[in-house]
Structure 1
């Protein structure tokens, strides 16, 4: 059973890489790229370069609100990591009242047009609380109304071997006329994986000629400030001389000039933010390179990001970790292949309002 995958809000290809590399030991069950969409040119170029270099026209670069969705080719599966800006716990949490909140509805439209056998939708964990929880319930209901059994779960990717604390709401849907029940894959098989950020960045060492590995320019003052910050500390918890302290009123964000703790997974890689938010090395007085950030997102070293350096930084921060995505896609394939796998018991699950 070969599933042709369509993607909305595809980003640089974290979900697509996980999908197309999903392997359950049975070549009759796999996922292949059909088409994808994103609004950002550099992001689309990254996706094309790494996922479908022989089919560049299969990536529709433009605002989803202006696409002719009815003209998209038939698909068997849909993935959509709908924009999370308005559902994130960082910021104002505008939910449906924001610019990005309603964009999930374009995924619903594709479900109604093509009725794929299954879908995977991704968003931030804060989705559950946006609009006092009403946004999440509305989204789940719309998915059900489109004809799907749904399986939402808050995945903590560091529990699945990803070297980064990244919590995302993933909703798997299976068309209601199909005799399959998805089960959330258990993190237990990944308990003994060394997923510390130190191991991720050093084993093996990043090749000298690796792409996207340029150092960030930093002022002498920033370097001096970092010299006082110990692994795991930030600009507000470290013992800094008065002249190096940040003059910030109000909330003190914990990730400002925060050094990684080499004995733990990294804290969450983000796609935007000014000075002090680039993620800082545990032993060197510098920000991580984009290639190092990509490793924390479990992209392979030969995955080449296209576009200017800041665009690449944003692409990496907005992506779904490849390794985590692959685990979920493999669970979907095993579901359709009737292959048993370790799963999270219902009373242990964080899924909501089925």
Structure 2
């Protein structure tokens, strides 16, 4: 029997609440790290996927909940990935135009917190929420909900408690355009006692077989080490082989074929379901500003960013003929997002769920660093690769009776 991880007592004291939890990328990362979590999600299809994956879920609108609600009283880690469509380059851009407006709301929320703390009267949260509800796209205002949760935890006792219990650690994740919002978050979080770290990360530098950039904000009460969340893999550069770019002892980035072959070796995928030949993914999107110049990635490279429209991408053989091949399956696209091959996608528009999700492997790295756990090793990645939904107590009883 192997010894327990040296940080087992440390991870045992954490309990995570995940706002806008989606189909479960960050919750799955928490499960792999043996950290209890509960996710709030309002999309019925994502909820169906979460329930099939046996992830603890509170269906509903984040705006209708707070840290004082029953079920969240033990949560001392707050995470969240608010809807990103209005901030995304691929979206309408209304969120980017509203960045100045959102910045103003952040500082009004801080002023609300300081007045509440001092027992003074003035603009309260309900006043602010009414104005947020008037924005052209309500999703833009949702990026402020984690800040409301943070301030409410600092102002009011949790369910059954006698004193406020601030979150020990905060982990927020969004598209790169939101880094400006996270920097404004940093300003007010530092004023109320948190140390913060915000940066745009490349997920292929953490073993995800996909080039995907994510803006991450981590806040906690301790200082951050200089090597906080250091990359474990090289950054992908078109036309540059990993060995040519080797530096700092980092591993080569992981290609699509590497990721699929790892699954084939370890998970027992039937031969008929395997993608045997080299292939090329031809993007539905233009490249370099030319809508006719479709982006291309061969299977010996990482996938391009998996968006909610990935099913529109063509798959052709990686040879001169470019023979049309079967398009990606949910399982394959999920693997490129670093989900287990048999993750139980459910409901409608599963492609959108996959494209919107946090890559679990990246989530493992972020949570391990944010919670000051040991760096994840091969045992953690093996656990993620072979993951299956946990059995419920009812299932365990049924299995015992049928044995």
TM-score (norm 2): 0.62
* Alignment match, 1:292: 332
* Alignment match, 1:247: none
User: What does the per-residue CA deviation read over 1:155-190, in whole Å, with 9 as the maximum and x for residues that have no partner?
Assistant: 101111110000001111103xxx443553211467
Conserved? CA contact 2:77–2:170, under 8 Å: yes
Long gaps (5+) in structure 2:
1-9, 99-134, 154-165, 235-249, 319-323, 377-403
Long gaps (5+) in structure 1:
23-29, 53-57, 216-229, 239-249, 342-354
Please state if 1:312 is matched with 2:350: yes
* Alignment match, 1:125: 176
Q: Alpha carbons of 1:236 and 1:78: their partners in 2 closer, same or farther (altered >3 Å)? A: closer
* Alignment match, 2:306: 269
* Alignment match, 1:185: 229
* Alignment match, 1:109: 148
User: What does the per-residue CA deviation read over 1:88-131, in whole Å, with 9 as the maximum and x for residues that have no partner?
Assistant: 12233222454312112211122123311001000011223xxx
Q: Alpha carbons of 1:64 and 1:17: their partners in 2 closer, same or farther (altered >3 Å)? A: same
Name the count of aligned residue pairs.
284
* Alignment match, 2:210: 164
Structure whose alpha-carbon radius of gyration is higher:
2
- Which structure carries more relative contact order (alpha carbon 8 Å, separation 6+)? 1
The secondary structure found in structure 2 opposite 1:231 is strand
From 28, 32, 36, the equivalent of 2:36 is 32
* Alignment match, 2:105: none
The secondary structure found in structure 2 opposite 1:113 is helix
* Alignment match, 1:47: 50
Distance 2:57 2:370 in 1: 24
The secondary structure found in structure 2 opposite 1:20 is helix
Conserved? CA contact 1:234–1:259, under 8 Å: yes
Conserved? CA contact 1:86–1:99, under 8 Å: no
Conserved? CA contact 1:124–1:168, under 8 Å: yes
Q: Aligned runs of 1:1-354 on 2, under 5 Å?
A: 1=10, 2-22=13-33, 31-33=35-37, 35-52=38-55, 58-67=56-65, 70-72=68-70, 73-74=72-73, 75-95=75-95, 96=98, 98-114=137-153, 115-128=166-179, 133=180, 135-145=181-191, 147-175=193-221, 179-181=222-224, 183-188=227-232, 191-193=250-252, 195-205=254-264, 207=268, 231=280, 252=291, 258-272=295-309, 277-278=312-313, 280=315, 283=318, 285-308=325-348, 311-334=349-372
Conserved? CA contact 1:262–1:282, under 8 Å: no
What is the deviation of 1:259?
4.6
Q: Which moved more, 1:116-125 or 1:62-71?
A: 62-71
* Alignment match, 2:161: none
Distance 1:235 1:189 in 2: 28
User: What does the per-residue CA deviation read over 1:264-290, in whole Å, with 9 as the maximum and x for residues that have no partner?
Assistant: 1000000147xx734635555232111
TM-score (norm 1): 0.70
* Alignment match, 1:27: none
RMSD, aligned α-carbons = 3.3
Conserved? CA contact 1:122–1:168, under 8 Å: yes
Q: Alpha carbons of 1:340 and 1:156: their partners in 2 closer, same or farther (altered >3 Å)? A: closer
Distance 1:278 1:36 in 2: 31
Distance 1:288 1:16 in 2: 25
What is the deviation of 1:291?
0.6
The secondary structure found in structure 2 opposite 1:313 is helix
Distance 2:200 2:49 in 1: 28
Distance 2:368 2:283 in 1: 38
Q: Alpha carbons of 1:253 and 1:319: their partners in 2 closer, same or farther (altered >3 Å)? A: farther
Q: Alpha carbons of 1:236 and 1:327: their partners in 2 closer, same or farther (altered >3 Å)? A: closer
Distance 1:285 1:189 in 2: 30
Distance 1:237 1:86 in 2: 20
Conserved? CA contact 2:29–2:364, under 8 Å: yes
